[in-house]
Amino acid sequence: MAVTVYSTPTCSFCNAAKRYLREHSIPFRDIDISRDAKAAADMVRKTGQQGVPVIDVNGKIIVGFDKPKLNATLGIRG
């Protein structure tokens, strides 16, 4: 399973989402869009918006730290 989190260091929801993934031992790639303009543009192209976090799970996009969607997509029993 490929999980990518598009985030910024100062985003509290981004940090909460990454902490949640770590707590459930879900490996993920963290992309800091404040430092990577190409990744930021890619995220906007995929989602149509600029807000973070954006979590990409095998191509399924979850915008925001949406626990029910994360749980359903990742098979986490909440």
Amino acid 38: pLDDT: 97
Q: Evaluate if residue 77 carries a pLDDT over 90.
A: no
| DSSP result, 21-57 | HHHTT---EEEETTT-HHHHHHHHHHHS---S-EEEE
Strands 54-57 and 3-7: antiparallel
How far apart, in whole angstroms, are the C-alpha atoms of residue 38 and residue 41? 5
Which tens digit of pLDDT belongs to each residue from 16-54? 999 999 999 999 999 999 999 999 999 999 999 899 999
Give this prediction's pTM: 0.94
Which amino acid, one-letter code, is at 65?
A: F
Q: Per-residue confidence at 58, pLDDT binned at 50, 70, 90? A: very high
**Ordered structural domains, the chain, with CATH:** 3-74 (3.40.30.10)
Mean pLDDT of the chain: 95
Tell me, what's the pLDDT at 78? 64
